[in-house]
Structure 1
Amino acid sequence: MEFNMKDGGFYAEFDYGRLDISGDEKYGIRPYQLLVSSLAVCSGGVLRNILEKMRMDVDDIHISAEAERNEEKANRIEKVNIHFKIKGSGLEEARIEKAMKLTKKNCSMVQSISGAITVEESFEIINDER
């Protein structure tokens, strides 16, 4: 990856388009938002694949993520809470819990920051009435 300086930050060109990055939201996505997004979406993609392999009938996964930062230590991220709303039919809590454990173990982004940032994952099931 290559990054080029611009007013208020940097940008990079990718096959899908341009990504503007800045510490100021007026000029692009903030670096901490990229980190939290990477953790959430990597986990979501891994979870989706695991649920498909478990032959679970999932229609949608909505992810919300929040970062807890320490202002006294360079405003670093110390904890990320990731919550999944999993919508489908016939979803069982015990099977989803098993999938969640596998997700944390197999998400490369979560494993990359293991020991430096705490990641807590939770979920809720929204069963469709079909």
Structure 2
Amino acid sequence: MNFYLREEGMQIDFDYGQLDISSDEAHGFRPYQLMVASIAGCSGSVFRKIINKQRMDYDDLTITAEVERNPEEADKIEQIDLYYYVKGRQLNPDRLHKNLELSRKNCSMVRSVEDSITINEHLEVIELSR
């Protein structure tokens, strides 16, 4: 990856597009947003891969993140709470919880920061009527 310093922040060009990073949201993604997105994106992708491999039938999977930062330590990310919402029919909540635990063990982003950032995962299973 090549990072280019710009007046407003940094720019990275990828085959699929350009990424702008800045401390000012008007000029790009803030670094902490990218950190949280990387953790949620990795964890969610691994979770989805596991439930797809098990051929679990679900209609929707969404994740919401809440971030706790410490202004006394350069706004360090101290805790991320990830809320997983799985919607579907005849879902097995116990199996989904086990799959979420397994995804945590196999997510490189979570594993990379788990000693410095507390990551809590919460799962809500939403049963849809037939």
TM-score, structure 1 normalization: 0.96
Q: 2:87 & 2:2 partners in 1: Cα distance?
A: 38
Name the structure 2 match of 1:110: 110
Q: CA deviation at 1:13?
A: 0.4
Name the structure 2 match of 1:12: 12
Gapped runs of 5+ residues in structure 2? none
Name the structure 2 match of 1:120: 120
Compute the RMSD of aligned alpha carbons. 0.9
- Structure 1 runs (4+) greater than 2 angstroms displaced: none
Q: Deviations over 1:54-109 (max 9, x none)?
A: 22102211110111001101110011010011111111110111001101111110
Name the structure 2 match of 1:22: 22
SS in 2 for 1:57: coil
Greater CA drift, 30-39 or 7-16: 7-16
Sequence identity percentage: 48
Q: Give the letter aligned to residue 30 of structure 1.
A: R
Q: 2:60 & 2:14 partners in 1: Cα distance?
A: 27
SS in 2 for 1:23: coil
TM-score, structure 2 normalization: 0.96
Query: How does 1:1-130 map onto structure 2 within 5 Å?
Result: 1-130=1-130
Gapped runs of 5+ residues in structure 1? none
